[in-house]
Chains A and B, each alone.
Chain A
Amino acid sequence: LTAASIPLLADAQSAPRRPVDDPNAPTNLGAERMTGRPDREVILEQDAEVTRGETTLNADRATYDVVEDRVKATGNVRLKRFGDRYTGDEMDLKLDTGEGYVENPTYHLGIRNAQGKADRIDFEARDRAVVQNGTYSTCEGPDPDWYLQTGTMNLDTGRDIGTASRAVVYFKGVPLFGSPYLTFPLSDARKSGFLAPTIGATSRGGLEVSTPYYFNIAPNRDLTLYPRLIARRGLQLGAQARYLGDGYAGRTRIEGIMNDRVTGESRGALSALHTQTLAPGLTFNANVNAASDNEYPNDFPGSITNTRERLLLRDLSLSYAQPYWSAIARTTNYQVLQDPLVPIGRPYDRLPQLGVTAARQGVGGFDLGVVSDFTRFYHPDLVRGDRSVINPRVSYPIIAPGYFITPSASVHSSSYSLNNVATGNPTTLSRTLPTFSIDSGLVFERETSFLGRQATQTLEPRLFYVYTPYKDQSKFPLFDTTLAEFNFSQIFSENRYVGNDRISDANQLTAAVVSRFIEEDGVERVRMAVGQRFYFNQQRVTNEQAIASAGAVNAGGSASENKSDLLAAVSGQLTQALAVDAGVQYSQSIGKTNASSFGVRWLPGPQRVLNLQFRKDVPTGVDLVDLSGQWPIANRLYGVARVNYSRLENRVSEGLAGLEYKDDCWVFRVVAQRTPTATNVATTSLFFQLELTGLSSLGSNPLTALRNSVPGYTRVNEPVR
């Protein structure tokens, strides 16, 4: 039983940095010429300088009012405080509170290197300023690539938030975007604001504009709105909420379009995860996914609910866990988004599934355990009914650093009460089968070196013997069972099936050897493994359905063979930058490779990664080459691409190509993508995004396709922390 994991909120929340000034700091005055009355008013002429704590003001001429602790300055006024700088023609500033104003100013905020100019700035406090008819930009220099032209702008460096009314964004002198109201972050901290908008087109929806908005509600909850205008269909609204609290956490994504102009219907999708601790040990979990219609994944491929899958799970469960036992009550159902050309079989509903598991280790040297499960399987058309399974197990593990031997015995006992069966077939069935197994292994070590570094090499031979008697199970239904995928994990399992409807007969021995190179600090550099299973009896339990649907050989060795395919694998992080992973499954009886994979990842630095994978699996019908990468092409220009090429069909099944241009204060991205969505249906899309650094909030990149497609991808403007 699996529980969907809930991604946690990033905890990068910065506390407000309110500038603290010493209230008793003395005020120092300096100038070429000072006149006035020392206890009332001082007039400073030529190179006037007034300092108090973190504040320094320079001007041609200034008057300091001693009683009010206030400066009036004119001519080349320059103010520095807490890393921020202002210039202007005329300034009035109360030094103790930081209140005042400046005429015809320019400003520069230290935290984000933001700058601008204005008609007037009113200081409401040391960290709050109101800017009249001003500009804002994070570009350097007098002629910024982009700037914000605003009517009134509030810069709150204490809360790291800027707000602007009557704002227009200019890029290269051209007005791009206007808004009556706008907020933007003044630092890298998570703040409410617009995320970088995207403009593009898809083959199914036509022109598309998306302007996501992020609400940072509290450190442990946030909300992102994804309004998206799709030319052919209308306005789609999407939202994602994340929350985390004492004993609960969750994430919900929802999107919908009120009246799709193509179909004339309201359409939408939902994906919600929630987990709640009701009492110590007692947890409620919900994982609910839904879509309005079968065509949803075809028509909305860029969905935030990720309805790429055509089976949408609804799973509600209540679980109770104690140190030695646990119980779960669960109900599940799948919504099938049917593809009429290649129909999907409707999975069984579990209404409900009840399970109790108990385990106790080290009772007089014995490990004791029992797994029990009752499930009512429902299907409108096929055989349905109740299945009860109880599976007690006892083992006696002998474990030492250099070896282990674990003999164990278990009994699988199950009974079925069926209805809707074909005429002549039984409505009740039961079976009880014992299983004996011995798992054993040795661990040898030697000191050696690997690529010039001191390392320990291990040699770990392992033998695993299983005996289960045969019982004819051809009349038993197949609710949740299929032949397990053949791999290193499966050759060490007692049953060749996953699920409880088939218990394979076994009189078999698995032999494997693993060797690792482990560095001095315990890091595993390379692992090599080889393994095979030997059958002493012919395997008689078969899974009619799986053989029919796969139409392929039993990957674990066909029934008449006396051994399984040979498995061999090598994987390792050869150097800091280079990792390889390769595996092969070879049938000695037919002299053919049934499955093979070879992968290499080269990650020499940030924004530089290349992945190449060949994967072939005859039984499951996979034969592909997957190439992806991110690489600088020229100065400031980065390329991103992925090609997933099916060698079975001799065509590209998924493809993505992108370019990212990074300037000092903006990034421009173009991404083209082709995604298959149903039989003979593929969506192509092209998206543009201009990210003005420091204006849009740092949120999830709307072009998440880049990150999802290229393992190891890093943002070109990743903030340096």
Chain B
Amino acid sequence: CGFKLRGTGPQPILPFKTLFVSVAETSPLGVQLRRNLDVMSNIEIVSDRKLADAALEVLNEGRDKQVLSLNSQGRVREYTLLYRVNFRVVDKEGRQLLAPTDLVIRRIQSFNENQVLAKEAEEATLFREMQSDLVQQVLRRVSAIKPVQ
């Protein structure tokens, strides 16, 4: 049916070989981005921006939690969790290889006041999973960057 294992076909040619990731090394997003980008056979992650052909800049990272629905007793029954990242890729000369791109991941979390501490832990787990999802989406955008004509 035409499916081939990823990585066995010809690799896309990216307009950079080395990439710097401008997210703090202590941030979970930074750790996960570097690790997943490093797996790509056509990119090398470098820790010094001056040595990099291009830089992945995370311009904004934010989490939000909004009340989605109340039951007839006025109690919150569902929250929407939002995880947002705005990023771009620029080359050495500061030209944008990928214009600022907004990615938003949404999840609905059910809520019950009588389990609030557990729900807090569950929220953290959901945000971690949303972050992995988002990192995969960033990766796909980065690996689809075309050389500047």
Which residues on A are within 8 Å of B, measured CB to CB? 1-2, 5, 7, 281, 297-298, 308-311, 321-323, 326, 334, 339, 341-342, 344-345, 347-348, 350, 359, 361, 399-403, 442-448, 457-459, 479-482, 484-485, 489, 493, 497-499, 518, 520-524, 546, 549, 597, 615, 617, 620-622, 624, 626, 644, 646, 649, 651, 653-654, 675-679, 681-682, 708
Q: Which B residues, 53 to 100, have Cβ-Cβ distances below 8 Å to chain A?
A: 62-64, 66-67, 69-78
Interface 1/0 per residue, B1-45 and A, CB below 8 Å: 111111111000000000000000110000100010001110000
Q: Which residues of B contact A298 (CB under 8 A)?
A: 74
Whether B121 sits at the interface, judged by CB under 8 Å, is yes
Q: Given A347, A485, A499, which contacts B109 in the complex, CB threshold below 8 Å?
A: A485
Bound: A308/B75 CA distance, A: 8
Q: Which residues of A contact B78 (CB under 8 A)?
A: 615, 622
Q: Which residues of B contact A675 (CB under 8 A)?
A: 70, 74
A401 and B6 within 8 A (CB): yes
A676 and B126 within 8 A (CB): no
A489 and B69 within 8 A (CB): no
Chain A to chain B contacts (Cβ below 8 Å), 24 pairs: A2-B63, A281-B26, A297-B74, A308-B67, A344-B113, A345-B114, A347-B117, A401-B40, A446-B1, A448-B2, A458-B6, A482-B119, A498-B118, A498-B122, A521-B144, A546-B115, A620-B77, A622-B78, A626-B69, A644-B70, A677-B74, A678-B73, A679-B74, A708-B67
A400 and B39 within 8 A (CB): yes
Q: Given B72, B125, B129, B143, which contacts A522 in the complex, CB threshold below 8 Å?
A: B143
Bound: A615/B31 CA distance, A: 35
Q: Which residues of B contact A459 (CB under 8 A)?
A: 3
Bound: A493/B22 CA distance, A: 30
A334 and B116 within 8 A (CB): yes
Bound: A284/B74 CA distance, A: 33
Bound: A87/B144 CA distance, A: 59
B112 and A489 within 8 A (CB): no
Known A401-B7, A651-B72; further 13 A-B contacts with Cβ < 8 A: A2-B120, A2-B123, A297-B74, A345-B113, A347-B116, A403-B5, A446-B2, A482-B115, A485-B109, A546-B115, A597-B108, A676-B70, A708-B66
A5 and B62 within 8 A (CB): yes
Q: Which residues of A contact B109 (CB under 8 A)?
A: 485
B5 and A443 within 8 A (CB): yes
Whether B46 sits at the interface, judged by CB under 8 Å, is no
A498 and B125 within 8 A (CB): yes
Interface residues on B, range: 35 or more
Q: Which residues of A contact B143 (CB under 8 A)?
A: 522
Bound: A476/B78 CA distance, A: 29
Bound: A310/B118 CA distance, A: 17
A653 and B72 within 8 A (CB): yes
B73 and A361 within 8 A (CB): no
Q: Given B5, B35, B63, which contacts A361 in the complex, CB threshold below 8 Å?
A: B35
Bound: A342/B66 CA distance, A: 23
Bound: A709/B76 CA distance, A: 14
Which residues on B are within 8 Å of A, measured CB to CB? 1-9, 25-26, 31, 35, 39-41, 62-64, 66-67, 69-78, 108-110, 112-127, 129, 137, 140-144
Closest 7 CB pairs of A and B: A401-B7, A522-B144, A480-B117, A444-B3, A482-B118, A402-B5, A522-B141
Given the known interface contacts A498-B122, A522-B144, the answer about A444 and B114 at a Cβ–Cβ threshold of 8 Å is no
Bound: A310/B41 CA distance, A: 51
Q: Which residue of A lies closest to B9 (CB)?
A: A445
A310 and B72 within 8 A (CB): no
A444 and B71 within 8 A (CB): no
Chain B binding site: helix, strand, loop or mixed by DSSP?
Answer: mixed
Give chain A nearest CB distance to B71 CB in angstroms.
6
Q: Which residues of A contact B120 (CB under 8 A)?
A: 2, 480
Given the known interface contacts A2-B120, A344-B113, the answer about A676 and B4 at a Cβ–Cβ threshold of 8 Å is no
Q: Which residues of A contact B140 (CB under 8 A)?
A: 518, 522-524
A5 and B74 within 8 A (CB): no
Given the known interface contacts A308-B67, A310-B113, A480-B118, the answer about A615 and B108 at a Cβ–Cβ threshold of 8 Å is yes
Give chain A nearest CB distance to B135 CB in angstroms.
13
B40 and A322 within 8 A (CB): no
Given the known interface contacts A401-B41, A653-B70, the answer about A322 and B5 at a Cβ–Cβ threshold of 8 Å is no
Bound: A390/B24 CA distance, A: 27
A480 and B121 within 8 A (CB): yes
Given the known interface contacts A402-B8, A681-B74, the answer about A446 and B123 at a Cβ–Cβ threshold of 8 Å is no
A653 and B69 within 8 A (CB): yes
Bound: A72/B144 CA distance, A: 67
Q: Which residues of B contact A523 (CB under 8 A)?
A: 140-141
Given the known interface contacts A444-B3, A617-B110, the answer about A399 and B39 at a Cβ–Cβ threshold of 8 Å is yes
Bound: A300/B66 CA distance, A: 19
Q: Which residues of B contact A322 (CB under 8 A)?
A: 26
A2 and B118 within 8 A (CB): no
B117 and A445 within 8 A (CB): no
Give chain B nearest CB distance to A409 CB in angstroms.
20
Q: Which residue of B lies closest to A654 (CB)?
A: B70
Q: Which residues of A contact B2 (CB under 8 A)?
A: 446-448
Bound: A505/B63 CA distance, A: 33
Q: Which residues of A contact B126 (CB under 8 A)?
A: 489
Given the known interface contacts A310-B113, A326-B26, A522-B140, the answer about A445 and B3 at a Cβ–Cβ threshold of 8 Å is yes
Bound: A342/B119 CA distance, A: 19
Bound: A708/B76 CA distance, A: 14
Q: Which residue of B lies closest to A336 (CB)?
A: B113
Most buried by A among B26, B71, B126, B127: B71
Give chain B nearest CB distance to A327 CB in angstroms.
12
Q: Which residues of B contact A498 (CB under 8 A)?
A: 118-119, 121-122, 125
A5 and B3 within 8 A (CB): no
B64 and A402 within 8 A (CB): no
Bound: A344/B121 CA distance, A: 19
Q: Which residues of B contact A399 (CB under 8 A)?
A: 39
Bound: A457/B6 CA distance, A: 11
Q: Given B6, B74, B112, which contacts A402 in the complex, CB threshold below 8 Å?
A: B6
Q: Which residues of B contact A644 (CB under 8 A)?
A: 69-70
B116 and A1 within 8 A (CB): no
Bound: A348/B86 CA distance, A: 37
Q: Which residues of A contact B129 (CB under 8 A)?
A: 489
Q: Given B62, B71, B125, which contacts A653 in the complex, CB threshold below 8 Å?
A: B71
